Chains A and B, each alone.
Chain A
Amino acid sequence: MGDSQYSFSLTTFSPSGKLVQIEHALTAVGSGQTSLGIKAANGVVIATEKKLPSILVDETSVQKIQCLTPNIGVVYSGMGPDFRVLVRKSRKQAEQYHRLYKEPIPVTQLVRETAAVMQEFTQSGGVRPFGVSLLVAGYDDNGPQLYQLDPSGSYFSWKASAMGKNVSNAKTFLEKRYTDDMELDDAVHTAILTLKEGFEGQISGKNIEIGIIGTDKKFWVLTPAEIDDYLAEVE
């Protein structure tokens, strides 16, 4: 197609109606480490592979799952530095909301504002889109929620979703295993099994990360010891 002639500038549409840079950004996401999220009846779980480039890296210093507010957490697939920038901006927006209304920000509002930031970077001069897709998990007055945000700035609410390297296998697995009345513990087990599907090497508490939020509305990242407990249950 004549698409390649239009791939130099982000802000120019190609004849087929696509913004080629965003397609490339999605490719960057697709080659990132697998991450997934599952919404249960009483909470949400998000998980990701934590493959470090060498055994010399101190894995306790790397945290791929971050919390944006006490009741909202996020995980990504793609470029780590871009993720850090988005986390910083989202946290600031959540705090600004709280300063104005003295209320914790609803998940939908935070997702919408973060998506607006991602969209800005697809329509400004001299910038490139973010090379990450985010999975935002939160629990507010509307119950447990899971959203996926793409580099284009579009977002969707999912019952279960996966992104990154093994996305098609993971999604097929999730489609088969997902039930609407799943409890949080079942969801954690399903998440681990889904990660195991495409995992190269031995899975353990040290090379995956899991974050959960339940009816207590507190998002927290499981310690490697807790992950090992769940792994033992799954075996």
Chain B
Amino acid sequence: MVGKNCFAIASDRRLGVQLQTIATDFQRISKIHDRVFLGLSGLATDAQTLYQRLVFRHKLYQLREERDMKPETFANLVSALLYEKRFGPYFCQPVIAGLGDEDKPFICTMDSIGAKELAKDFVVAGTASESLYGACESMFKEDMEPEELFETVSQALLSSVDRDCLSGWGGHVYVVTPTEVKERILKGRMD
């Protein structure tokens, strides 16, 4: 979700196989560099492999070009990588959030074969995405400061995952401003 010169990216913490919960502290959001974060929902093995491939590509980019990737560029790279596997796709949905030039927040999501969806306010992905769309739509306000953004994102996340039996066991929220990254763990209904 986008705020004023900042953004927040959040996920739940459950890792499960249908009705069995395997882990309650699963990290779904990873840092690509200080200003670009990637959340991957869907099949855990594909999420891990995709993450490793993207980190690999980004590290090479950093070495060759001696600079970090902009979030728009990174989103394009993810889209291209996903489409390479068009007829045998990665079963995950990425959510990309970053601060671009002049600290302008950038967010986007895409489907599992790389169709980008840019948005100015919020993007969602995962099993609870329908609830999330509704919660974010009603709770979102333009130009929120980091603290208010954190509250909004947390409320939207917790209320949506409570309505989804496959999501839950708390939340993980990152609020990123040009100067710092605040990582917070939410305690919700632990079920």
Contact (Cβ within 8 A) B65 A103: no
Contact (Cβ within 8 A) B73 A109: no
- A102 CB–B CB distance under 8 Å: yes
Contact (Cβ within 8 A) A102 B64: no
In whole Å, how far is A80's beta carbon from the nearest beta carbon of chain B?
A: 31
A112 CA to B66 CA in the complex, in Å? 14
- B76 CB–A CB distance under 8 Å: yes
A101 proximity list for chain B (CB < 8 A): 69, 73, 76-77
A112 CA to B64 CA in the complex, in Å? 10
Contact (Cβ within 8 A) A109 B72: no
In whole Å, how far is B149's beta carbon from the nearest beta carbon of chain A?
A: 28
- A1 CB–B CB distance under 8 Å: no
A102-141 to B contact mask, C-beta < 8 Å, 1/0: 1100101100100000000000000000000000000000
- B80 CB–A CB distance under 8 Å: yes
- A62 CB–B CB distance under 8 Å: no
In whole Å, how far is A111's beta carbon from the nearest beta carbon of chain B?
A: 12
Contact (Cβ within 8 A) A106 B77: no
Interface of B is mostly: helix
Contact (Cβ within 8 A) B73 A103: yes
Q: Name the residue of chain A whose CB is nearest to the CB of B73.
A: A101
> Which of the four size classes fits the interface of chain B?
under 10
Q: Name the residue of chain A whose CB is nearest to the CB of B70.
A: A103
A106 CA to B61 CA in the complex, in Å? 12
B73 proximity list for chain A (CB < 8 A): 101-103
B64 proximity list for chain A (CB < 8 A): 109, 112
Q: Restricting to B50-72, which residues have a CB under 8 Å from any CB of A?
A: 64-65, 69-70, 72
Contact (Cβ within 8 A) A100 B65: no
In whole Å, how far is B72's beta carbon from the nearest beta carbon of chain A?
A: 7
A108 CA to B63 CA in the complex, in Å? 13
* Of B70, B72, B77, the contact of A100 (CB 8 Å cutoff): B77
A106 CA to B67 CA in the complex, in Å? 11
A176 proximity list for chain B (CB < 8 A): none
Contact (Cβ within 8 A) B72 A106: no
Q: Restricting to A81-104, which residues have a CB under 8 Å from any CB of B?
A: 99-103
A103 proximity list for chain B (CB < 8 A): 70, 72-73, 76
Contact (Cβ within 8 A) A102 B76: yes
* Of B65, B69, B70, B76, the contact of A106 (CB 8 Å cutoff): B65
Question: Known contacts A101-B73, A102-B73, A103-B73: does B65 contact A109 (CB below 8 Å)?
Answer: yes
A100 CA to B61 CA in the complex, in Å? 12
Q: Restricting to B70-118, which residues have a CB under 8 Å from any CB of A?
A: 70, 72-73, 76-77, 80
A112 CA to B76 CA in the complex, in Å? 22
Q: Which residues of A contact B (CB under 8 A)?
A: 99-103, 106, 108-109, 112
Q: Which residues of B contact A (CB under 8 A)?
A: 64-65, 69-70, 72-73, 76-77, 80
Known: A102-B73, A109-B64. 15 other contacts (CB 8 A): A99-B80, A100-B76, A100-B77, A100-B80, A101-B69, A101-B73, A101-B76, A101-B77, A102-B76, A103-B72, A103-B73, A103-B76, A106-B65, A109-B65, A112-B64
